[in-house]
Amino acid sequence: MVDITHKSNTLRSATAQATVSVSTIETIKAIENNKVPKGNIFEMSKAAGLLAVKKTPELLPDCHPMPIEFTGVEYEIKDLEIIIKVTVKTIYKTGVEVEAMHGASVVALNIYDMLKPIDKGIEIKTIKLLEKKGGKSSFPIADISGLKVGIIVCSDSLFKGEGIDKSGLVIKEKMQKFGLKTSEIFIVSDDLDKIQNAVKDLKKIYNIIVLTGGTGLSPRDNTPEAILPLLDKRLSGAEETIRRYGQDRMPFAMLSRSIVGTLDETLILSLPGSSKGVEESLDAVFPALFHSFKMMNGDKH
């Protein structure tokens, strides 16, 4: 299956439709008067559809098991057609369009099975997706053309030339994947003044400044203390999201002191020093965090 561990949960829904066509008006009358020998086709087919939605990953190997938090089945009779609509909802990392289509398919198939003793001309017609919500299409990325990203690595050892920077490269690669221009990677010592001066210099040029390192608990971890006095507004929700996302993946994420906020019209993030911590932090808040630029321009959600 496709790896979705980097994704975050969102409310997702999908509605699919299937159509069953019968050959005579007598079949429709038998349905409406509940005279079908095998029983009430709507109730029994609804039960079949509910089971189908839940069992989708058991039958389609690339579908992820997920919590199904709502399934609704609706029917409409038009002339000689029974129109079936199945809506599925979940709060999860991936969508439910296949589950909805599978449910609609099985509802239609069960109706076929129940009606075939009284009608030999039944046909299952188009099965299609009507609507899906909650994925990338529902939360499009704001216009980020022209944004430039400055990168600062806070590390005494790297500043002295000891070791190899990995976290700055992760930031650079991630931001470039969004099509953003990135700076060279600036390495500064863990001195509070040096960090503040670097941020003040870069904010004159860059729309986003991402710092890595110095968010832990050692005596030289000064990055949050350097950044906080500079911020005009603090984005506590983004900070909480970074820690919650990390906490779902490893227990020590709760010890991170990541900071997110704005300075004038520049977005500033202070992230952990480990390359894995940086990668997960960026996955947690981007691309949604680009929406902050619309808000800073006075636009509404």
User: Mind telling me the catalytic residues?
Assistant: 113
| Joined tokens for residue 39 | 């029983």
**Please, which residues bridge with residue 124 across strands?**
20
139 closest CA partner among 294, 296, 298: 294
Q: Single out the residue of 268, 238, 274 nearest to residue 253, CA to CA.
A: 274
C-alpha to C-alpha distances, 232 to 162, 257, 260, 262, nearest whole angstrom: 35, 18, 11, 6
- Spatial separation of the C-alpha atoms in residues 66 and 93, rounded to whole Å: 9
SS3 per residue for 214-227: CCCCCCCCCHHHHH
Is the bond leading into 287 cis (omega within 30 degrees of zero)? Answer: yes
> Could you give the CA distance from residue 239 to residue 269 in angstroms, rounded to a whole number?
9
Q: Which of 158, 167, 164 is nearest to 279 (CA)?
A: 167
Q: What contacts 246, CB < 8 A, 6 or more positions away? A: 253, 254, 256, 277, 280, 281, 284
Please return the burial class of 213, using the count of CB atoms within 10 Å of its CB with bins 0-12, 13-18 and 19+: buried
Give 135's Cβ-side CA count (13 Å radius): 12
